[in-house]
Structure 1
Amino acid sequence: MYAPFFGLRQAPFSIAPDPHYLYMSERHRDALAHLLYGLDGGGGFVLLTGEIGAGKTTVCRCFLGQIPAHCNVAYIFNPKLTVTELLRAVCDEFHVPVPAQAQTVKDFVDPLNAFLLAQHAAGRNNVLIIDEAQNLSADVLEQLRLLTNLETAERKLLQVVLIGQPELRELLARPELEQLAQRVIARFHLGALSEAETAHYVRHRLTVAGLTGALPFDARALRLIHQLTRGVPRRINLLCDRALLGGYANGRAQVTPDIVRRAAAEVFDGPATPRNRRSTYIALGAGLLAAAALAAGLAWQQQAAPLGPAPASANSAASTPAPAASTASAASPAQPASQADSPPAPELLRLADWPPSDDNDAWQALASRWGLPLPAGADACATAAQRGLQCYRSSSGSLSLIRLIDRPVLLTLRRPGQPAALAALVALDAQHATLLLEGTARRLPLADLATAWRGEFSTFWRPPPGYAQRAEQPRALRDWLAAQLAGLSPATSAASTSPPAWAALSRQVQAFQAGQGLQPDGRIGPVTLMLLNRASGVPEPRLDAAR
């Protein structure tokens, strides 16, 4: 209903787990990395817990999509089962044939054990995933522990992943389940989003839904959304959906804190009195009637208007006409004092006003971010190599990749009738790229950037020891990788005191890549190493905070 009013193609805050709207915060990436690490943990239990609506299902879906082809997976989503019902469900999921008259535990465990042994001999792993595991009874959990006793001389045959609410941790803390708790090889509690992550989450879903204009939530509204939802994604979806409906009903292109509060009183059953609630519904109904009349008028105008190019602001939600009665109330509220005292945002730039640029100046701007002296006319990449840096170039990059590697880059811009030119990108937000021109920061709308940038960019990065000579001296690179990955994963660091073999290290790299949103191919390339540098605190410049 409200999507066209805000310049959206579809409603952005459905609570259905649509993969197109997937948002992986650092916490979600860490949770996914723990699950992937557990795949090769040699048996035992992997535990993922989180509050209701924290995104456990999102992580689980990502996990299922990235399980290697050599793994058999059994997934149980309704664990309110007896011991024999659970064993039957596990056999069904693994497609293990059992006798028609099977009734005892032995009737199920024997064929399951034979299946697991055969799969192990064929080089395949077996993973049992149980969702909503807080509903498991103590005797069922004990039977799961006994299943992890199925093993060969080298390794256990079954890996169990338990996903559930915080009560699952309390359940496993019971004295009678101490033996099971000792077999948990990796555990992660998925916390709520921070205030900054909540704002990014809201912006991400609106962008996926087609937003090209200004964000319909002001800074105070986003702060209030985080406070009212406690950073829980499902609660954010419910509140933002109702708040956008309220803004639409009142003809407000900007959702203010007052609208958010009224929406929260409805979706979270807040403390609003019946009288106030009734007044809210009356106002909402009146607003909906006004909005419906407005929509009908706009549709008539569009049909009656002559064909021709749309104005530049046609896709901006802020440019959508509002009912006359609400024009005064639609004005943007005053900015908080903290914002008013902050430095002004860089001046807005249009491509048509772009001054002549010098590639050497662009390289100088990038080098200065690294503290790299670059003599005039010198080869930037050769100079960087003398300081232990390397150049990275991509001909098919994207803004998503640049956001991911989070560092200043040089964009190759191509404008009609002019030679290709480099520009240093130093900040990036949802609507603008900030570029350095002659030492001055200038903001360029992303829509303008898209007309001149085709994915070519260059940047510097700091390779690890042994990277340049990895064919002749692989040990230095292996030791560095092992140390960095061990520092990021307590489970990995506790597993061994010596550097792992390359095969085991490759699996750890895959888990890290998956946690960062990369293709988990195990290849140790520049992008993977840039993200590993960032995660482990290697000093490299970052994109500036957007203003």
Structure 2
Amino acid sequence: MYLNYFGLSDNPFSIAPNPDYLYMSPRHKEALAHLTFGLRESGGFVMLTGEVGTGKTTVSRKLMQQLPDNTQVAMILNPTLSAMELLATLCDELGIEYQNKQASLKYFTDRILAHLARNHTQGINTVLIIDEAQHLLPEVLEQLRLLTNLETNREKLLKVVLIGQPELQLLLKRNELRQLAQRITARYHLLPLTRHEVKEYIAHRLRVAEGDKSIFSSHALQAAYQITGGIPRVINLLCDRALTLAFTKQHPVVRRYIFLAAAEQILGEDVVRQRQGRQWTLMLSGLLLAGMLIGYLAGRLYG
């Protein structure tokens, strides 16, 4: 709707996990480096966690782009499966043929292990990426651990990337999963963007879409951090709506009041008011502490 009006070649704030739009903040770079390093190690598991909307899935897409050509990747997006269903899904992802009439844990396991061994002899690495991994049942995680038992003298034949919300960390602290937790060779928790990174994030996405970063005023960018808390998915939703409102009103620039109106439409007036109030509370607290410190130093100086 607003692409031509703002001179954009693409929708810069789509919530689809397009790696072309991945803003490599220091945190995202560290996350990608941890995953890449972990997959090169001899262990069977690497883990990426973070709150909803922080960009975990997008980082995983970037990781897939960077994997060597001799890598076969299986991707599971809906892990609310039984152990049997997970093994069948893994067979589907790896192109392993099987007979439903013979379905059993041992049957699927044997088929998968044979495929892993065949891949290894052909110089092919096998990687399984599981998104929303906090939904995995403990018995399913244990089945995954058993699959990674197949190894050479130097490495596991199956590498598993677990991506999930912070609840995944709690899940892996369970006593029955301690063996799996010990096999995680790299783990990283992705935090929201900082105030400066929010500005850079918006500018980056506009730049990829061949747009001008000045579309958003400086006060609108301040509001973007204030209201979204640095969560990329929320930033995308609110910026997209703000551009739509600016286009509707035929404004060439997204001002703060337009951004706040977009936030109220998406999040609700109560949420926006609460987050604005929280920022004012933090600012007043900071000023109070600064005043107390100045008073203390003045007292020491003239006392």
Same fold (TM over 0.5): yes
Identify the residue that residue 81 of structure 2 maps to in structure 1.
81
Equivalents in 1 of 2:150, 2:98: separation in Å? 18
Judging by fraction of residues, say which structure has more helix: 2
Identify the residue that residue 136 of structure 2 maps to in structure 1.
136
Deviation string 1:112-168 (CA, Å, 9 cap, x unpaired) is 222222222333322111111111111101111111112234432211111111111
Equivalents in 2 of 1:154, 1:38: separation in Å? 14
Equivalents in 2 of 1:258, 1:229: separation in Å? 15
Identify the residue that residue 98 of structure 2 maps to in structure 1.
98
Contact kept in structure 2, 1:99 and 1:107, CA below 8 Å: no
Q: 1:167-316 residue pairs with structure 2 within 5 A?
A: 167-212=167-212, 215-271=214-270
Contact kept in structure 2, 1:14 and 1:241, CA below 8 Å: yes
Equivalents in 2 of 1:147, 1:189: separation in Å? 25
Identify the residue that residue 419 of structure 1 maps to in structure 2.
none
Equivalents in 2 of 1:19, 1:186: separation in Å? 22
Identify the residue that residue 124 of structure 2 maps to in structure 1.
124
**Aligned residue-pair number:** 272
Distance 1:18 1:74, change over 3 A: closer
Contact kept in structure 2, 1:43 and 1:157, CA below 8 Å: no
Identify the residue that residue 483 of structure 1 maps to in structure 2.
none
Equivalents in 1 of 2:119, 2:9: separation in Å? 47
Q: Alpha-carbon deviation of 1:267?
A: 0.7
Identify the residue that residue 296 of structure 1 maps to in structure 2.
none
What is the RMSD computed on CA atoms of the aligned residues? 2.1
Contact kept in structure 2, 1:43 and 1:158, CA below 8 Å: no
Equivalents in 2 of 1:57, 1:5: separation in Å? 31
Structure 1 vs Structure 2: percent identity of aligned residues? 51
Distance 1:14 1:121, change over 3 A: closer
Equivalents in 2 of 1:41, 1:169: separation in Å? 21
Q: Alpha-carbon deviation of 1:230?
A: 0.9
- 2:205 partner letter: R
Rg larger in structure: 1
Q: Scaled by the length of structure 2, what TM-score is found?
A: 0.83
Q: Alpha-carbon deviation of 1:46?
A: 0.3
* 2:166 is the counterpart of 1:166: yes
Q: Alpha-carbon deviation of 1:102?
A: 2.2
Deviation string 1:260-293 (CA, Å, 9 cap, x unpaired) is 22111111123289xxxxxxxxxxxxxxxxxxxx
Equivalents in 1 of 2:215, 2:73: separation in Å? 42
Equivalents in 2 of 1:272, 1:192: separation in Å? 18
Deviation string 1:465-520 (CA, Å, 9 cap, x unpaired) is xxxxxxxxxxxxxxxxxxxxxxxxxxxxxxxxxxxxxxxxxxxxxxxxxxxxxxxx
Gaps of 5+ in 1: 274-547
Deviation string 1:45-87 (CA, Å, 9 cap, x unpaired) is 1001112111112111111111112222211111111111111
Distance 1:272 1:126, change over 3 A: closer
Q: Alpha-carbon deviation of 1:172?
A: 0.9
Q: 1:393-472 residue pairs with structure 2 within 5 A?
A: none
Deviation beyond 4 Å, 4+ runs, structure 1: none
Gaps of 5+ in 2: 273-303
Equivalents in 2 of 1:206, 1:99: separation in Å? 50
- 2:248 partner letter: A
Equivalents in 2 of 1:144, 1:20: separation in Å? 31
Contact kept in structure 2, 1:221 and 1:255, CA below 8 Å: yes
- 1:230 partner letter: G
In structure 2, the residue corresponding to 1:271 is in which secondary structure? Answer: helix
Equivalents in 2 of 1:59, 1:170: separation in Å? 22
